[in-house]
Amino acid sequence: MNQTAPTCSSTSEPSPASVVLAFSGGLDTSFCIPWLIEHGYAVHTVFANTGGVDTEERTYIEQRAAELGATSHVTIAGGPALWDKFVRPFVWAGEGYQGQYPLLVSDRYLIVEASLQRADELGTRIIAHGCTGMGNDQVRFDLSVKSLGDYHILAPIREIQKEHPAVRAYEQAFLEQRGFAVRAKQKSYTINENLLGVTLSGGEVDRWQAPGAGARGWCAAREQWPASPLQVRLQFEQGEAVALDDIYDVDADVYSPCALGGTVNEQTLSRLKCKVICGAANNQLATDAIGDELAGRGILYAPDYAVNSGGVMNVSLEIDGYNRERAMRMMRTIYYNLGRIFKIADQDSIPTYKAADRMAEERIAIIGRTKLPTMGQRTRFLGRLRSQ
């Protein structure tokens, strides 16, 4: 242990001291829970999900913590923070650590932040991790903790290495002697996954031998590789990847462009395999000609400003006092208005974007002829912007 942490005794303290353990459900951190409990601590686990973990695995981690005796467990969604703080800067830099390493373990700093936040909530200054004494992770964890406050650090794996050279075998025996099963792959390897990739250690890796078949993360065996390589295109805006254009080639019922306009254009139109385009983005069609082409191809386009008109409706109700019930009634008219647009387009054999424009222009003309109520000399609602 790199700092002297308080120990617990049933005769000196009414209840065990709390420790927050950065927990992943693997062999090392699984060992830490009963080891810490037997050394007098109440263990509170934190799993920072920084990607690479599906719902089934996340459920297993939560159940594993409870099975091993954790007093409490929380799961933190760390993916967005990893993306903002590490993935984007890494892509912007265009350079790996020492020219080759993409810093897959950069999520350790976020795991520390999540663990310290939980410690502060519980009112404890004791933090634990499952890092060994032979790698860089212990440095990442320890220095991050020290830089963020005055905390005591417990490192059980580092402690047992002083007496047990075959650490993984000792951890496995320790757990099994106490009735806790160990998953087959965890008997040999430590596996860490996040948005950036996967890292493995243990087994042949720790013995400086060629990795065996079990040391596979996201890579298939050579005989399972596809005959031809997959080519994808990433769309960047201001140095940030914002779209993967393979979506245009997916055989789907509905293509839903959201938060990014102009995605239906001359380059993507021929690739679309959908029946309907309906999304919340503004200006989805790069040009009116694209809308004409969609109609010719038999793809039903739900005009963007009709689909996402709910936002304007909601804001308009704030002028004279917001009423949620009235707002929800107005939202339901979106379905009705789309039905009218599709009917006009079908009856007059015109594209749906033209039908929507016609309906909007007719409504604007009607409102322009309407005499609005006034309050004194001030018009309650002008309905349109007037030039000065």
Domain boundaries, the chain: 17-210, 243-370
Joined tokens for residue 81: 């923070």
Q: What is the CATH number of domain 243-370?
A: 3.40.50.720
User: What's the one-letter identity of residue 290?
Assistant: I
Residue ranges in the chain assigned as alpha helix (H): 27-38, 55-68, 79-82, 88-93, 107-122, 137-148, 156-160, 167-177, 203-206, 288-297, 304-307, 310-316, 324-348, 352-368
Cβ–Cβ < 8 Å for 70, 33: yes
- Tell me how crowded residue 193 is: count the other CB atoms within 10 A of its CB: 20
| Residues comprising the chain, all counted | 388
Residue ranges in 178-238 assigned as alpha helix (H): 203-206
Q: Is 387 exposed, middle or buried (0-12, 13-18, 19+ CB in 10 A)?
A: exposed
pTM over 0.85: no
Classify each residue of 365-378 as buried b or exposed e, where b means 16 or more C-beta atoms within 10 Å of its C-beta: eeeeeeeeeeeeee
Q: Is 61 helix (H, G, I), strand (E, B) or coil?
A: helix
| Residues 161, 155: Cα–Cα separation, whole Å | 10
Rounded mean pLDDT for each run of 10 residues along the chain, 388 residues in total: 42 75 93 96 94 83 96 91 83 76 80 95 96 83 94 95 88 95 71 74 75 72 75 68 75 83 87 91 89 93 92 82 87 93 95 94 85 53 39
| Residues 146, 168: Cα–Cα separation, whole Å | 28
List Cβ neighbours of 76 (8 Å cut-off, separation of 6 or more).
46, 47, 48, 49, 114
Cβ–Cβ < 8 Å for 373, 380: yes
| Predicted pLDDT of residue 380 | 45
| Residues 27, 344: Cα–Cα separation, whole Å | 64
| Predicted pLDDT of residue 3 | 41
| Residues 93, 24: Cα–Cα separation, whole Å | 30
| Residues 284, 277: Cα–Cα separation, whole Å | 9
19, 307, 313 from 362: Cα distances, Å: 68, 18, 18
Report the DSSP beta bridge partners of residue 42: 18
| Predicted pLDDT of residue 10 | 41
Cβ–Cβ < 8 Å for 356, 348: no
| Predicted pLDDT of residue 368 | 80
Domain 17-210 has CATH 3.40.50.300: no
DSSP 226: -
| Predicted pLDDT of residue 185 | 62
| Residues 294, 221: Cα–Cα separation, whole Å | 43
Task: Confirm whether 17-210 and 243-370 share one CATH topology.
Answer: yes
Q: Is 217 left (phi over 0), alpha (psi -120 to 50) or beta?
A: alpha
